[in-house]
Amino acid sequence: MSKKVEFIYLSQEDCIKAGGLDMKGTLEAIQKSFELHGKGDIVQPSKPVIRWGGPETEETRGRIMTMPSYIGGELDVAGMKWIPSMPENPKKLGQPRASAIIILTDPNNGFPLAIMDGTIVSAMRTGAATGVAAKYLANPDSKVAGIIGAGVQSRTQLMAVVNAVPSIETIKVYDLNREKTIQFAAEMQKELGVEVKPITSAEETIRDSDIVITSTMSTYPYVKYEWLKEGVFHSEISFWDTAPEEVRHYDRIVVDDFEHVKHHGVDVSYRAVAAGYVEESEVYNLSDIMLGKLEGRKNKTDKIIFNPIGMSIHDVSEAYRVYKNAKEQGIGQKLNLWENPHWM
Ligand SMILES: NC(=O)c1ccc[n+]([C@@H]2O[C@H](COP(=O)([O-])OP(=O)(O)OC[C@H]3O[C@@H](n4cnc5c(N)ncnc54)[C@H](O)[C@@H]3O)[C@@H](O)[C@H]2O)c1
C-alpha cells in the first residue's frame, strides 16, 4: 500500500488566484488569530533573526527572520515563515525588499500541507494588523489618513485602513522618493476609490491626519509628537521613524505581543522601555484590549501609538485561509514529500 505524502506548492500567482489580495478575508483571519492570541490558544516561540551586525544594520545590510507558530481553535494548524529582508534589492535588482516562503503543517501528523510564497501573505497580514488595531483604537469618525513611505507595505496598510475605517475620505502620502510618491498616490487612488494626495514633507502628511502610518526604511527618527493631531491613531510598523523619547508622550502604547517585541529588541516601544522613558506595564497587547481585559482608547482626544513587531500566527492564519481557497479551487501544484518512506 502506498504511503504517499503529498502537499501543494503555491507560487505568488497561485496565492493571488486563491484570494490572496482579498483584504476583507485577511482582516477576518487576523481578527481571529488576535482573539486566539488573547485566549492563549496558540504556541508562538520568539523568532530567531539572522543579521550581520547590531539591530541598526537591519535597515542597511538586511536580515532573515524565522517565524514558527501553532494556532488552536477551529484552525488547528501549524506553520512557519522564512522571510529575508534585503534593503538594496529595489535599487540594485528592481526587486522587492522582502521575499518569503511559508510552510503549513498538519499538527496531527506533522506532514506538510503546503509550501507557498509568503510575500503576499506577509504584506497582507501586516496591513490587516493595522486595520484591526484601527478598528479598536482609532476614532470611528476619522476622515484623513497620512502615510509615510510608498513601498510595498504601504499598499496593504491603506487597503486595510479604508476597509476597517470606512469614514476615511482623504489619504496623504509622503516618501523620500518623490517620483515613487506621485506614482503610489495615483495607483492607490484608482485602487481604493479614495482621494490620495502626494505630499512633499512628513510634517505636512502627519499634521491634521486622524490616522498616521509610518511604514518606511528610515534609519533615523523624524516624527515629532507635536505634529500629531489630538485623537490620532498612529501605527508604526517600521522601526526608526519615531524616537523613544517621543513615544513617552502618547496616551496609550499598544503592540501585538510585547514579549516578541522585547526579544527582537529593535521596535521603538521596546527602546522606549529599555531607555526608561516608559514602564513595561504601560505597553499593552492589542488582544487584551480586544477581549476587554485592558482599556484601549479612554478619550476622543487620546493620542495612541500601535507598534506591532509582526506575529507568526498572523502569517499562518492568513496562509491557511489562502491554502483552503486554493484546495477548494484546485489551484497549485501537487508535490510528493515521498511515495513511500525510505526508512521507518
Ligand atoms: N511590523 C511588521 O509586522 C512589519 C511587517 C513587514 C514589514 N515591516 C517593515 O515595514 C517597513 C517597510 O517595508 P516595505 O516592504 O514597504 O519596504 P520598501 O523598501 O518597499 O519601502 C520603503 C520605503 O520607505 C521610503 N523611505 C525610507 N526612509 C524614508 C524616510 N525617512 N521618509 C520617507 N520615506 C522613507 C523608501 O524610499 C521606500 O520607498 C520595513 O521597515 C519593514 O521591516 C514591518
Answer whether 250's CB lies under 8 Å from 274's CB.
Answer: no
Q: How far is the CA of 98 from the centre of ligand 1 (A)?
A: 10
**Same domain, yes or no, for 65 and 146?**
no
Question: 265 lies in a domain?
Answer: yes
Q: Does residue 151 have its Cβ closer than 6 Å to ligand 1?
A: yes
Q: What is the pTM of this model?
A: 0.97
Tell whether ligand 1 has an atom less than 6 A from the beta carbon of residue 218.
yes
Per-residue model confidence (pLDDT) at position 55? 85
Question: Do 288 and 143 belong to one domain?
Answer: yes
> Which ligand 1 atom sits closest to the C-alpha of 177?
37
pLDDT at 85: 97
pLDDT at 1: 80
| 145 shares a domain with 206 | yes
284 and 185 in one domain? yes
Helix 152-164 × helix 178-192 angle, to 10°: 30
- pLDDT for position 2: 87
Same-domain check for residues 300 and 330: no
Nearest Cα neighbor of 98 from 59, 130, 70, 133 is 59
Residue nearest to atom 30 of ligand 1 (CA): 218
Q: Is 281 helix (H, G, I), strand (E, B) or coil?
A: helix
Residue 194 lies inside a defined structural domain of this protein:
yes
What is the secondary structure of 213-267 as a DSSP string?
EE----SS--B-GGGSPTT-EEEE-SSSSB-HHHHTTSSEEEES-HHHHHHH--S
343 falls within a domain: no
Any domain includes 344: no
Report how far residue 151's alpha carbon sits from residue 13's, in angstroms, rounded to the nearest whole number.
Answer: 20
CATH number assigned to the domain comprising residue 104: 3.30.1780.10
pLDDT in tens, the chain (344 residues): 889 999 999 999 999 999 999 999 999 999 999 999 999 999 999 999 999 998 889 999 999 999 999 999 999 999 999 999 999 999 999 999 999 999 999 999 999 999 999 999 999 999 999 999 999 999 999 999 999 999 999 999 999 999 999 999 999 999 999 999 999 999 999 999 999 999 999 999 999 999 999 999 999 999 999 999 999 999 999 999 999 999 999 999 999 999 999 999 999 999 999 999 999 999 999 999 999 999 999 999 999 999 999 999 999 999 999 999 999 999 999 999 999 999 99
Ligand 1: does its nearest atom lie under 6 Å from the Cβ of 50? no
Q: Has residue 322 been placed in a domain?
A: yes
Alpha helices in the chain (DSSP H): 12-17, 23-39, 89-93, 119-137, 152-164, 178-192, 202-206, 244-247, 258-264, 268-274, 286-290, 312-329
* Segment (H or E) for 78: strand 77-85
307: Cβ below 6 Å to ligand 1? no
pLDDT of residue 256: 98
**Residue 146: how many CB atoms within 10 A of its CB?**
29
Residues 140 and 250 in one domain: yes
CA dist 104 and 179 (Å) reads 39
- Domain identity same for 98 and 181: no
Res 269: pLDDT: 97
Pocket test for ligand 1, best of 92, 216, 235 (most atoms within 8 A of CB): 216
**81 in the same domain as 35:** yes
- Give the atom of ligand 1 at the shortest distance from the alpha carbon of 155: 16
Rounded to the nearest 10 degrees, the angle between the axes of helix 119-137 and helix 152-164 is 40
Span from the CA of 153 to the centroid of ligand 1 (angstroms): 7
Q: Indicate whether 199 belongs to any domain.
A: yes
In this structure, are 169 and 83 located in the same domain?
Answer: no
**Residue 51 falls within a domain, yes or no?**
yes
Candidates 323, 310, 275, 306; CA nearest to 78 is 323
Task: Report residue 193 as a C-alpha cell.
Answer: 476609490
249 in any annotated domain: yes
Q: What angle do CA 211, 216, 221 make, to 5 degrees?
A: 85
Residue type, 159: M
Confidence at residue 110, expressed as pLDDT on a 0 to 100 scale: 98
Give the ligand 1 atom nearest the CA of 222. 31
Give me the number of domains the chain comprises: 2
Q: Are strands 170-174 and 144-148 parallel, antiparallel or unpaired?
A: parallel
Structural domain boundaries enclosing 211: 129-306
Residue-level pLDDT at 34: 98
Are 115 and 197 found together in one domain?
no
Q: Are residues 149 and 238 in the same domain?
A: yes
For the question of residue 81 being annotated catalytic, the response is: yes
C-alpha cell at 248: 513617552
User: Reading across the β-sheet that carries 144-148, which strands appear in turn?
Assistant: 195-198, 170-174, 144-148, 211-214, 233-236, 304-306, 252-255, 283-285
Is residue 69 located within the same domain as residue 168? no
